[in-house]
Amino acid sequence: MTNREIAAAFDQVADLLEFQNANPFRVRAYRNGARVLKDYSASLELVARTDPAALLDIEGVGKDLAEKITTLVTTGELPQLTELQAAIPTGVLALLRVPGLGPKRAAILHKELGIQSLDMLKAACESQQVRGIKGFGAKTEETILAGIAIAATADQRMRWAEADVIVQQLLAHFRVCDAVRQIEAAGSYRRGKETIGDLDLLVDASDSEAVMTHFALFPGITAVLARGETKMSVRLDTNLQVDLRVVPTESFGAALQYFTGSKEHNVVLRGRAKDKGFKLNEWGVFRVKNADDEGEYVAGKAEADVYAALGLPNIPPELREARREYELAAAGPLPRLIEVGDLRGDLHMHTTATDGTASIREMIAAAQARGLSYIAITDHSQRVSMARGLTPERLREQWQEIDRLRPEFPGFTLLKGIECDILEAGGMDLPDEVLAEADWVIASLHYGQNQPAAKIMERLLGAIANPHVDIVAHPTGRLINRREPYAVDVPELIAAAAEHGKLLELNANPMRLDLDDVHSALAKERGVKIVISSDAHSPDGMDVLRYGILQARRAGLTKDDVLNTRAWPFV
């Protein structure tokens, strides 16, 4: 059972308790617990099975939560969650996915109108029954109707790369608006989260009304959800909601900090401000004498000024998740996080020999155009028959071609590689004597992904122990919004990589981003180097490296933590 699965169980407990109007402190305790568990880097299952008392050493985990984690891990069930689910009709749970509704309002609709499904909710809104309930209204009804269409796919958050395309279109749209002085995208997008629920745009403008009018002309808008003097919310044809706020120049930095979040990061920051005699909000940092004092403006024009006023460096947005950023800031200057320009090579790509669309020469040209000094050609091995995977004979023919090409590219290193499958029964897809001839061997798992955890781990650990394997690619096999990770114990995998001196990949394909940020941070902590690879199947495929860099920054990685920031050969 993964940490995310354990955390999800407690998040659901919080939702159902809130639906039942339970004590809000109890609800908050479960939500905070779920966040702590999701971000915990080591394996909770391993701790719960081998030394359950050690769960109490995790900050934010008390005796009650520790006991429930142990029960969930050892039995596969959480009795409290089972009881809560039994007490609430299954269809009602779908109401919780409607944007802006939430457990409390869903409970009111269930109690007052007997609503037990999205279809019933839609019918109630269309017949204007919802607006008759205290605390609701016509606008709420309209908002719910707009959200019902999204609720069926509410768990399908947009991948960051898709959101980035929209952000760039929005920014280009606003560049021709003379009223705009500065504009930034905030929220989870700015923090680089792998999926995005909505977008926040902050604008400093000379004319708020002109900005709103210009925003309404954006071609992707299908509905204007709300429009006021300084805020406007719209729904795009992608179902993404975009909230735009116009803020004063003197508050732009404070608003950018506030709306970038995360919520947990901001809670700590506001607590720090209070301890220092300040008040912090989206309008700025204010020196106050008491809780009722509006205060004297201290900072807010620039984000860095907000942090500086509170005795902190300007914490990179990617780190603002209330994990270790404050601890790092207290220890001295923050580390310089890795940047795209730090990469010197790309060690995972495919050509027309298997399922790629370009020749080796074309992939070299693409790499050189991006300032890289080496690449490894790593086509699939024979097990991947649907991609015409390479037999030993065809692979050696490709390596002979690489030998012939090398003199044509002085100053550039072309490596003979292979992405070799780990067979379902265990062992590598190609003989050791073939792998021994390679410059770079990737081990990957493409088949048998539904095998039990013990078998999956046996295969992966066997590959790591193979003396010819350099790295494990996309170690959990997940496809974001499409496929869950297979049953891999990532902390155990990292421990094995450390023991054998092997590497782990952060696959930069935006559908993978595998390893994720939490596990990449754990690899850093355990001394295991990461390689950020494109897994490109075309020349343009190398452009995804920036997504891998973003994920690495969220993990707190520097160029020293990523091996392909170094020249080849690695030392």
Q: What is the CATH number of the domain that holds 303?
A: 3.30.210.10
Ranges 109-123, 467-481, 491-505, 508-522: which has the least confidence: 109-123
Taking 3-state DSSP, the helix, strand and coil percentages for the chain, each rounded to the nearest 5, stand at 50, 15, 35
At 150, the pLDDT band (50, 70, 90 cuts) reads low
* Model confidence, pTM: 0.83
Contact 552, 530 (CB under 8 A): yes
- Residue 257: pLDDT above 90? yes
Does residue 190 lie in a domain region? yes
552 with 524: CB under 8 angstroms? Answer: no
**Is 291 a residue whose pLDDT tops 80?**
no
Q: Same domain, yes or no, for 226 and 269? A: no
Domains held by the chain: number: 4
Residues 13 and 144 in one domain: yes
Domain identity same for 117 and 237:
no
Give the end of a domain, one of 102, 118, 151: 151
CATH of the domain at 344: 3.20.20.140
421 Rama sector, left if φ>0, alpha if ψ -120 to 50, beta otherwise: beta
Residue 425 lies in a domain: yes
Residue 571 located in a structural domain: no
- pLDDT of residue 298 exceeding 70, the answer is yes
Domain residues for 207? 158-246
Please enumerate in sequence order all residues whose Cβ is within 8 A of that of 551, keeping only pairs 6 or more positions apart, or say none: 192, 194, 506, 508, 513, 516, 517, 520
What tokens appear for 295 in the block?
Answer: 């205060």
569: preceding bond cis by omega (within 30 degrees): yes
Residue 393 in domain = yes
Contact between 79 and 64 (Cβ < 8 Å):
no
**187 and 317 both lie in a single domain:** no
Instruction: With cut-offs at 50, 70 and 90, classify the pLDDT of residue 139.
Output: confident
In a domain, 570, yes or no: no
The H or E element containing residue 66 is: helix 63-75
Shared domain check, 291 and 213: no
Same domain, 528 and 424: yes
* 391: in domain: yes
Query: Do 236 and 256 have their domain in common?
Result: no
User: Are the C-beta atoms of residues 246 and 203 closer than 8 Å to each other?
Assistant: yes
**Across the chain, what does the average pLDDT equal?**
93
Percent of the chain with pLDDT over 90: 73
Amino acid of residue 93: L
Q: Do the bridges between strand 199-205 and strand 241-246 make them parallel or antiparallel, or are there none, so unpaired? A: parallel
> What average pLDDT does this structure show over 480-501?
92
Direct distance between the N- and C-terminal alpha carbons of the chain, in angstroms, rounded to an integer: 37
Q: What amino acid is encoded at 347 in this protein?
A: L
Q: Residue 80: give its domain's CATH number.
A: 1.10.150.110
229/83 same-domain check: no
If asked whether residues 395 and 533 sit together in one domain, one would say yes
Q: Of 367, 281, 374, nearest to 568 (Cα)?
A: 374
CA distances from 266 to 195, 206, 231, 321 (A): 20, 28, 21, 9
At 527, is the secondary structure helix, strand, or coil? Answer: coil
Pinpoint the alpha helices (H) of 443-504. 453-465, 490-500
